[in-house]
Amino acid sequence: MVRFFKSIGQLCALVSLLCGAALADTVSPDSFRPLLSAPHRSSGNVVRDPFRHPAETLAFFGIQPNSTVVEILPGSSGYYLEILAPWLRDKGLYIAADRDASLPEYLADHQKLLKRLQDEPALYNQVKVTQFRADHHPIAPAGSVDVVISFRNLHNWMARNELQESLKAFHLALKPGGVLGIVDHRGRNDQTQAEQTTSGYVRQDLAIALIEQAGFQLDASSEINANPKDTKDYPEGVWTLPPAYRMKDKDRQKYTAIGESDRFTLRFIKR
């Protein structure tokens, strides 16, 4: 079937979507599994795997061995750093868009990340570090990135009124048709976002709408990281659950049985 396009823009948009879909469809979770049991991974990260499904999540985002990937705020714990940096080391590029070095409250953790990269060169000597704070800094050269990924950050940017500026930085760094992968705590549909923001939860429909307003198009969603046990009504919000356990020992067994939060997993394509 021949289809005629009214503008070059329509044609480019279709090409971008097709490229993004092809990227996401060519990767198997099995590609990442050997690294999940690698000896360099920290025990604190390994115990999170049953809740975070890293192999399935990274495959869903379409990350390939030759991809240029920016992870937003990996921090010194480096959950995905431990998996992605070695996996991309030979053919791709892992960029850690970490804290703005001018913010004293985050400096200690940022320095800890830098030391970790320096101390383990066989794993991390190809990692590039950039600064991230909304759109104050470029996270990578414009149009150079295949995939930008962010885990459980959206609620913070919304609370600080920095979401659109952050999305602007991601959009600028991505290639046409590049992928933005987002995972965050899924909020309740029977409450407004304003009622949930301080609890750390984000309405999925609102997240999609706001991200699409910033020049992205939703390509696919996944229930990889869903948790139907999460009732989303805790005294300390999502941080009541593991791994934060803000209630400390109070009802700890109850919250351990629930597990980590219910999360949406969304893949967007840069328009």
Q: Which of 78, 75, 87 is nearest to 132 (CA)?
A: 75
Structural domain for 16, as ranges: 8-230+266-270
Decide if 86 is inside a domain. yes
Decide if 254 is inside a domain. no
pTM: 0.90
Decide if 123 is inside a domain. yes
Decide if 15 is inside a domain. yes
Decide if 25 is inside a domain. yes
CA distances from 6 to 9, 38, 47, 77, 216 (A): 8, 52, 52, 49, 21
- Tell me what the mean pLDDT of segment 182-192 comes to: 98
- Tell me what the mean pLDDT of segment 110-123 comes to: 97
Could you tell me the pLDDT band of residue 25, with boundaries at 50, 70 and 90? low
Q: How many domains does the chain have?
A: 1
Could you tell me the pLDDT band of residue 138, with boundaries at 50, 70 and 90? very high
* 93-99: strand order across its sheet: 128-132, 93-99, 68-72, 145-151, 174-185, 263-270, 216-222
Decide if 240 is inside a domain. no
Decide if 238 is inside a domain. no
Q: Tens of pLDDT along 61-72? A: 999 999 999 999
- pLDDT in the model for residue 101: 86
Q: Are strands 263-270 and 216-222 parallel, antiparallel or unpaired?
A: antiparallel
Secondary structure of residue 183 in the 3-state scheme? strand
Q: Tens of pLDDT along 216-228? A: 999 999 999 999 9
- pLDDT in the model for residue 85: 98
Percent of the chain predicted with pLDDT > 90: 89
- Tell me what the mean pLDDT of segment 199-207 comes to: 98
Decide if 160 is inside a domain. yes
Mean pLDDT of the chain: 92
Q: Which CATH number belongs to the domain containing residue 155 in this structure?
A: 3.40.50.150
